[in-house]
Amino acid sequence: MTKYVIHGGRPLFGEIAISGAKNAAVAIIPATLLVDGVCRIENIPQISDVTLILNILQDLGADVRTVDRTTVDIDCSHIHNAPVSEALARKIRASYYLIGALLGRFGSAEVPPPGGCDLGGRPIDQHIKGFVAMGAEVDVKGGYIHAAAKDGRLNGTTVYMDIVSVGATMNIMLAAALAKGLTIIENAAKEPHIVDLANFLNSMGADIMGAGTDVIKIRGVDRLGGGSYSIIPDQIEAGTYMAATAAAGGSVLIKNVIPKHLECITAKLVEMGVDIEERDDAVLVRRNGPLSRANVKTLPYPGFPTDMQPQIAAVLCLAKGTSVITEGVWDNRYRYVDEFRRMGAQIQVDGKIAVIEGVEKLTGARLRACDLRAGAAMIIAALAAHGTSEISNIHHIERGYEDIVRKLSGVGADIRVVITPDEEQSEVTAG
């Protein structure tokens, strides 16, 4: 078993460079299926979700070549339309982007239902609604989602999203890029990675307008050509290190960010007593004094992101007073609460609402990461806690954070990877 061992109670000082955005990369890489030519994708994060989606493309016949640590060349010119590997697709939520990409490229797709973290009901009905509106027949049989355009090519139409869905917005964009005519997505999501996907597709020859607003217009083109594109920095990774600094104390310069993407996180941390200085492509986060209570409600962008909810909860556990978190997106975001209670946190959950009574200190404990963001939150809590914490199930964390041990060690955290085969511990220190 591999786990993280963290000796807490040390403030953080130094600099952390943010990697490319996970949520952009796992959509942009499937989008290369639509391109007739070589796509050079830069600033790719070194995380397991990206490795999985690249493996799926290779399994379909794509030529994937590593240029350097953060750059790959992807050529899907000779790809074949075959059922997507169930073993690979079920490990990653973003596998559903393959439906839109294959449907757009070939007029049909066979993809298993998506996997990833269990955050409660995560239906793809809005995705399917969009595909059907564009002229596809969609059925689920034999453990696969089967989608096929009636005349071999999708037709542009107007799709009104019943709820604001990031995944559905991006999937319909993928399907519409090569469709006949104009597709309009109303009540579209506005997250930064949606804009990034649109910018990628446009750089390859697509005609997409309005990304970042609630109405996106996609005029289908006959062909997309190759080119180069650099993925935006990861908003949630940056927010996680901002929260870690807030919880543990200290001063950390977080580099390679787009400060505007962080405003919803910055505003809440400032409200809690954290000092944040915005620079051109960095934010300086400082916390010396006590933390103040705050109320947080997760909302679609530009609201506070659901992917930062567990991390901000870790900080609020140490804030003076009573804080209330309202989860406005997922049903099952509070599975980390029992783990926090092991550390002395005072949290009560009722449905989508969590009430946190701040405590003077958390104490180290054995913890089990139950999903990606919950695992990151446990690291934050452990960094601020007195004593030693052990976090298992770290594969969840490595789905979305590149070199998290090295990055935290670089700012003074006492964190290391420990491998325990047959209960015999042998340590591997972060390099």
Residues with catalytic roles: 117
166-176 and 97-106 are packed helices; what angle lies between their axes, rounded to 10 degrees? 10
Q: Are 160 and 132 in contact (CB under 8 A)?
A: no
Return phi, psi of residue 41, to 5°: -105, 120
Separation between Cα atoms, residue 411 and residue 263, nearest integer Å = 23
Nearest to 157 by CA among 131, 189, 175, 184: 184
Q: Which residue has the tokens 């490319």?
A: 20
Burial of 65 (0-12, 13-18, 19+ CB in 10 A): exposed
Question: Phi and psi at residue 287, in whole multiples of 5°?
Answer: -145, 115
CA distance 156 to 178: 9
What is the Cα Rg of the chain in Å? 22
Question: Positive or negative CA dihedral for 40, 41, 47, 48?
Answer: negative
The first and second tokens of residue 257, run together, are 């960010």
* Longest Cα separation, the chain: 65
- Classified as helix, coil or strand, 127 is helix
Residue carrying the six token digits 């989860």? 327
CB atoms inside a 10 Å sphere around CB 160: 13
Strands 144-149 and 108-111: antiparallel
User: 115 with 145: CB under 8 angstroms?
Assistant: no
In 304-420, which ranges are E strands?
322-326, 346-350, 353-357, 366-368, 388-392, 414-419
Of 250, 176, 254, nearest in space to 211 by CA: 176
User: Which pair of structure tokens corresponds to residue 89?
Assistant: 């697709």
Cα separation of 384 and 367, whole Å? Answer: 14
